[in-house]
A and B are shown apart, each in its own frame.
Chain A
Amino acid sequence: MAGKATTDGPDIGTGRLAVAELAANFDDVKPPLDANQALIEASRCYFCHDAPCIEACPTGIDIPNFIRKIASGNLMGSALDILEPNIMGGACARVCPTEVLCEDACVRNASERKPVRIGALQRHATDWLFERRIQPFARAPSSGKRVAIVGGGPAGLACAHRLAMLGHGVDVYEARDKLGGLNEYGIAAYKVPDEFAQREVDFILSLGGITPHCCKAFGRDITLTGLRRSHDAVFLGLGLAGVNALRAEGEDMAGVEDAVAYIARLRQAANKASLAVGRKVVVIGGGNTAIDIAVQSKRLGAEDVTIVYRRGSKQMGATAHEQEFAQTNGVKIKHWARPVRLLGWPVNGGGKRHVREIECEYTQLDDKDRLTGTGDRFSLLADTVFKAIGQIFLPDPLRAGGAEPLDLSAGRIAVNDDRAASLPGVFAGGDCIAGGQDLTVRAVQDGKTAAHAIDRYLRS
C-alpha cells in the first residue's frame, strides 16, 4: 500500500492495488448467464397469468413472455419484448433494483423464497441482440416536426428514441461530453463494465433521426425560451444537478467530497490506479450513491470504509440487497448517527485544513417520530468524507434568458400524467420531475410516456 501513516497528515494515495486486482474489482459484478444457465432459469418461470412481475415493472415489460421466448430459443423475439416497452432494457437488466421490483413480485418467492432471476434473463436476451448489432426498430414517415430534448440521460434518450420512431426529428442537448447520463457517469462501474452505456447509446442512435449535441449546458448554451422557438416541442430530462449540504461544522475543508462528482471521475478514468483514494473513508448517506461510493472506494483500495446513516437499515434508500452487498465488500454501516463536526489537519501551514476526523452524534426518533440527536457522540478517523446525502433539482437554468416560469412542485418540475409541464409544448421526465424516483427504469417510462404525449400534441 502506498501513502503515509495517518499520524502526520491525510493518507490519500493512488495505485493502492495492483492493476490486475483493480481490473477484477471493476469487472462485471454479476457475470452474464450462459445459454444453459439461461435455459434452466427460464424454465423456472411459471408463465403466470396476469403476472405480478409485469405490474411491478415501471415500464410494464411482459416478463413471462420474454422468458418463454428465451426457453424456446427465440432470442430475437425475447429482446423485442423487452426493448419495445423499455429501450434501455439492457441497462435496466444491469442496474434495476430487481429485488424490490419484478423479482420481489415473482410468485416463486411465495413457494420457495427464490424468485426467477428476471434481471439476469433480461440481460441474456438483450445482450444477444446487442452482440449482433441489430436495430430492430424502424422509423415512421417523417412528420416534419422537430423536438428538442435537454439531457442525454435515460429519460431523454428514451424520449428521443420513441419520438424518432414516431417520425419526428430529435435534437438531444447534453451538458457533458457524452450521452448516457447516470448510466455513463453515475452508476457503479462494476454494474456496467465494457463501455456498456456507450454501446447502448450507439444502439439508440442507430435508429436514425436523433442528433446529439454534447457540451451544451442548459441555461448557458441553450435556453428554454430559445428551444421553444426553434423546436415544435421540448422535453426536459435535466436530472438533479445539486447536492445537499452536510450541515456539519467544517464541511468545506479539503477531503470532503461530493460522492456523485467523484463517481463521475471514477467512471471516466480509464486507469483506475490513477484515482486517489483515502486510507480511511467515511460516507454520509443511505441511498444507492452512498453504497456505490463506499464499495468503489473499498475496491480502489481504501482500508476502512464506513457509511454513517442517520436512520436505520429499513429507512435506507439503498435496498437490503445493496446494503448486504456493501457489507460483504467489507464496508461497515453505522446506523442512527449523523455528522456534527469535522476536525482537520493544517494543509501546508495555510488556513485551509484537510479532514482528519469526523465527529458524529447518535440519533433516535422521539415520541412524535421526529429524528433527534441523543447527545452522545463518537469520532471516526477519516482522510476522505464523501457526501452522499441526496441530490437536489437546481431550477435556475430554467429561468435563463428570461424564460416564462415553469411550475414546480416540491422543488422539482410539476407535470401531469402525460409528463406535460405547465407551459404548452414543454414536457419533462426523470429525476427532475416531482415524484422522480432515482430509477433508470422510471426515467425510461417517463421518456416513453412523454414521447407519446408529444406525438399527440404535435399531431393535434
Chain B
Amino acid sequence: MADLGTSFAGIKSPNPFWLASAPPTDKEYNVVRAFKAGWGGVVWKTLGLDPPIVNTCSRYGAHHLNDMRMVGFNNIELITDRPLEVNLREIKAVKKAWPGRAIVVSLMVPCEEKSWIDILKRVDETEADGIELNFGCPHGMSERGMGSAVGQVPEYVEMVARWCKTHTRMPVLVKLTPNVTSILGPARAAKKGGADAVALINTINSITSVDLDAMAPTPTVDGKGTHGGYCGPAVKPIALHMVAEIARDGLCAGIPISGIGGIANWRDAAEFMALGAGTVQVCTAAMHHGFRIVDDMIAGLNNWMDGKGYREIGDVVGKAVPNVTDWQYLNMNYKTLASIDQDSCIQCGLCHIACEDTSHQAIAATRRDGKRHYEVIDAECVGCNLCMHVCPVQGCITMVEVDTGKPYRNWTTHPNNPMSKQ
C-alpha cells in the first residue's frame, strides 16, 4: 500500500483529498459527515464579516448533456450566510474532534489591513491548520470589491497575501481566479507576497443556459439571472492547464499547488498531481453524488500507485511537469497514422464522416462482401487523432507511431519559420 499521507505547506492530512470551500463545507454537520466518509481535509466555506451576507433562492445552474447530468455546474451562491461566531465555534469543535484531518479556513473580507488582522486573530483561536484567501469568487462578492475583483489585480493579491503572512502563524493559501488572461500574474504575485501555497482554479464566469420560455439566463431569480461560477467535469481541462502553467513557471518555482476543477475520481486527482498539485480539492462531484465518492478516490489512487511502484504522494507530484512544453518545441518529425482494428470495428462510420467532412479525407468508406468497411488511407492521414476520439469502441482506433528516420526537429529550427534559428 502506498502512503497517501500528505504534508502540504506544512498542513498534514491522511490523504490528499480535500473538500473545497463551498456548500459541502459550510457547517459542522456536513464536515463531520465528510470526515467520517474519509476525506483528508476540508477548506471551510468562506467566512466574511458580520452581518452575514444573504443568498438568493435559485442558486445553481447546470449543463446537462443528454442523459448525463451536471457535466458542468454553476452557482450564484455567495460566501457563508451564517454568523461568523457560529462558524468559528463549529470549526474549533470539529478540529478538536478530528485533530488528524486538515481544516483550512477560507476568508474574504474587504481590502483593508484591519479587516484581515481582525478576522485572522479570531480564526487563529480555532486552531485551524491554515487559511485560504478567497480571491476567486466571480459573482456577487466581486461587485463589492472582493473575490475575483481582488484576484484579477496582482498588486492586490500580493498586498493581501503579505498582510496575512505578517499577521498569522497559519500557512496562507491563495485561491486564484481563472477569469484572467494569464494565471501567472496573480500566481507570481501570491508568491511574491509570501503565500505558502496557491489553490486553483476557482469558478469561471458563466451562464449555463437560457430558459427559452422565460427568455432569461439560468439559474433564474424572479425572471432575471446573472453570471455565476462554472465548475464540474467540464472545467477540468482549463484547470489542468493553469496548474501546469504555474508548476513550470520559473518565478513560481516550488510553490505548493492545491489543484481544483472538475475532479471526480482518483484518475482526475492523479492527473492534477502529475502536473504539480500536492493536494486536490473537490466540490461538484461531492455535491452530485455525496461524500462516499472519496472511497474510490483513496482506493483507486492507492491501487494505481502500487501498480506503478510509486510509494508516496511525493513520487507522483509534478512527475509530468517536465513534459509540458511550448508548442514551438514539439517534434515536427514525429509521425503517427490511424489504425482501425477491423475485428472490433462496429461499422458505425463515424470515423469516416468526421474525417471526410471535417478533416483530411483519409478514411475510405467501402463495402466488402456487402458489409460496410472503413479503412485508413495512409497517404492522406495526418495523424490528427480525430477518428480515434469519435470512435465509440474503446481501443478500436489507435494512433500508431511511424518511424520516419528523421531526427527531432522543432519549429524554432524549421525552414518554414521566418524566425528560424538555423
Which residues of A come within 8 Å of B, CB atoms?
36, 39-40, 42-43, 46-52, 71, 107-108, 110-111
Contacts and interface: CB of A to CB of B under 8 A. Distances in A.
Given A110-B347, A111-B346, A46 B66 contact: no
Nearest to B66: A43
Interface string B323-361: 000000000000000000000001111101100000000
B interface, over-half SS: loop
A49 B349 contact: yes
A47 B349 CA distance: 9
A107 B348 contact: yes
B349 A48 contact: yes
Given A39-B67, A111-B392, A46 B347 contact: no
Given A39-B66, A52-B372, A111-B393, A47 B347 contact: no
Q: Lowest 3 CB-CB distances: which A-B pairs, in order?
A: A49-B349, A49-B353, A43-B66
B70 interface: no
B67 A46 contact: no
20 contacts: A36-B67, A40-B66, A40-B67, A43-B66, A43-B68, A46-B348, A47-B350, A48-B348, A48-B350, A49-B348, A49-B349, A49-B365, A50-B353, A50-B365, A52-B347, A71-B66, A107-B347, A107-B348, A111-B392, A111-B393
Contacts of B68: 43
Contacts of B347: 48, 52, 107, 110
B62 to A, nearest CB: 15
Interface residues of B, number: 14
A interface, over-half SS: helix
Nearest to A50: B349
A190 B393 CA distance: 38
Interface of B: 66-68, 346-350, 352-353, 365, 372, 392-393
Contact of B346 (A40, A42, A110): A110
Given A39-B67, A40-B67, A43-B67, A49 B350 contact: yes
Nearest to B352: A49
A49 B346 CA distance: 12
Contacts of B393: 111
A102 to B, nearest CB: 15
Nearest to A43: B66
Contacts of A110: 346-347
Indicate the member of A39, A40, A42, A48 with the most B CB atoms within 10 Å: A48
B350 A46 contact: yes
A450 to B, nearest CB: 28
B359 to A, nearest CB: 14
A437 B346 CA distance: 29
B214 to A, nearest CB: 16
Nearest to B393: A111
A47 B353 CA distance: 11
Contacts of A107: 346-348
Contacts of A108: 346
A48 B349 CA distance: 6
